[in-house]
Amino acid sequence: MLDFLKDMFGHKKGIMEIPMEEIRLEERRKEIRENQLIAQIEKFDKEKEEIFREGAKIKSAERRKIYARRFNDLMTRIKFVDRDLNMLSKELMLLSRIRAIRERTSTQTSSILSNLNEKNMTEIAKLLENEKITEELFLTKCDELLGIANDPAYAMEDLGKEGSSVMKAWEAMDEGAMDFDAGLKEAEGKPKEKEKPEQA
């Protein structure tokens, strides 16, 4: 059993024996923690900008060194929080996959988790701890280890329909193809307003 699963559920039950309510509850806990880390990063980003702004105003090299040290310390803290957020996001993705498999009631799908061995668990643990593994690659590798790669039932993107739409909207906004209001409507799936014909 993965160490992080042992910690989060507080026992050594097999995955198929863990009550679904415990899995959903742990997902909610991790989502709350994820929001806390995001808020922390946003706070640090504001502090970082303020330190940079104040240091730019000062011409004294000695005083600038003070702000430089503060900036360096803050960047180190941001890296630690980013690392925690990366691992937490992967744990949430894994939990979501486990819940999805458990919610399917067929005998074939139920046996997928039951057949996980210690080697599989160790590989998943390594993927969780590897900071260089992106969320997309992590999900792909986990699907392979969980035995659901190329399974049509899990073909839908992990972000979901609306999640994928908002990603596309943000990309369009980055490229200047949409303003905020148009991007939000696109993300919400609202139909585009037809341009009114010019009056003669």
DSSP conformation class of 193: P
H-run or E-run covering 174:
helix 160-174
Other CB atoms within 10 Å distance of the CB of residue 183: 19
Calpha distance 51→141 (Å, rounded): 41
Other CB atoms within 10 Å distance of the CB of residue 182: 16
**Residue with more model confidence, 200 or 28:** 28
Question: 135-180 pLDDT, tens per residue?
Answer: 888 888 888 877 776 666 665 445 566 666 777 888 888 888 888 8
Residue boundaries of the structural domains of the chain: 3-146, 159-190
pTM (global) more than 0.85:
no
DSSP conformation class of 153: G
Nearest by Cα to 135 from 98, 86, 96: 86
Kindly state the average pLDDT of the residues 41-45. Answer: 94
- Per-chain mean pLDDT for the chain: 78
Kindly state the average pLDDT of the residues 72-98. Answer: 90
Question: 89-146 pLDDT, tens per residue?
Answer: 988 888 888 887 777 755 455 556 666 666 777 788 888 888 888 888 888 888 887 7
